[in-house]
Amino acid sequence: MTTTPNDPGAAPRGRPPVVDPATWQAARDELLVREKAHTREGDAIAAARRRLPMVEFDPAVEVVGPHGPVPFLDLFEGRDELVVYKHMWHDGAPHQGQCEGCTTTAWHVRDAVYLNARGVSFAVLTTGRWEEVAPYVAFMGYTQPWYSVRGAAEPVGGAMGYLACFLREGDRAFLTYSTTGRGNERVNGSLGLLDMTPYGRGEAWEDTPEGWPRGREACWYWRSDAGGTADWGPTSRPVPQWTRPGAHPVETLGRRGPGH
């Protein structure tokens, strides 16, 4: 049986109608056509991405890791390809004062085993001083290699908050691709799953049915207080930090919103 918004058994006011399975399947099949077209367009974009020109740079530039300075070429770990995430850093900030957006990205690549199996290495770069970065990495429990690129020029250093891809040919290295903003979302499987749920990400920019819960500012749930409530107040911190041993509500830098 199919109900409409005017029926006693209908969905709450303003929400999509409640229908029988056959009607639901027909609507689902119609959307699937668009989803498949979206997938094919993504494949075409990926093909164009593989044909972008490359920028050669000096791979001997030194970065600092747990064993001291090493040439950037070492980050390939003998493989031909390398993906890095450039993590923003706030000098002198406590752990909870570091970037929640970068935390989100780095947290979603805690194990690069599938990249490694495909001949691709992964590392996190940041402009923070290694003596500050090292205890943060230990606190977060990150297993991927981190390096300080403080003072290094592009494409090793430069602006943070980017995903970048590199290719190695012997002792030569090339930048092949870089993206930021929503381009980083492909790392974040949680966002992809949220996009499939009825309420989505719960962000204000989303197009949702009338009557659906109203969205809030972008990425509002990336920080929370000790009770798990999304919050940008003085006792909030990036959500994954609450899973760390010893995490407790302490004063932060007072950061109040995305990008601040």
Domains and CATH numbers, the chain: 55-185 (3.40.30.10)
Read off the pLDDT band of 115 (50, 70, 90): very high
Pairing of strands 81-87, 162-169: antiparallel
C-alpha to C-alpha distance for 26 and 94, rounded to whole angstroms:
53
pTM of the model: 0.90
Residue of higher predicted confidence among 8 and 71: 71
Token pair 């689902």 in the structure block, residue: 28
The fraction of the chain above a pLDDT of 90, given in percent, is: 82
Whether the pLDDT of residue 71 is over 60: the answer is yes
What is the rounded CA–CA span in Å between residue 161 and residue 172?
Answer: 25
Kindly report which listed range (84-98, 146-160, 162-176, 235-249) carries the lowest average pLDDT score: 235-249
**H-type helices in the chain, by residue range?**
21-49, 100-107, 113-117, 130-140, 189-196
141: closest CA among 111, 185, 97? Answer: 111
Q: What is the pLDDT confidence band of residue 10, given thresholds at 50, 70 and 90?
A: low
Pairing of strands 146-148, 162-169: unpaired
Average pLDDT, the chain: 91
Q: Which range is least confidently modeled, 33-37, 42-46, 58-62, 216-220?
A: 216-220
Other C-beta atoms lying within 10 Å of the C-beta of residue 6: 7
Longest dimension (CA), the chain: 72
Q: Any idea which residue has 């989303």 for tokens?
A: 206
pLDDT surpasses 50 at 29: yes
φ and ψ of 133, to 5 deg: -70, -45
Q: 68: pLDDT confidence band, cut at 50, 70 and 90?
A: very high
| Tokens 């012997």, located at residue | 170
Shortest CA distance to 255 belongs to which of 138, 86, 101? 101
CA distances from 206 to 54, 95, 108, 198, 217 (A): 35, 31, 23, 12, 10
Q: What is the arithmetic mean of pLDDT over 86-94?
A: 95
CA distance 236 to 240: 11
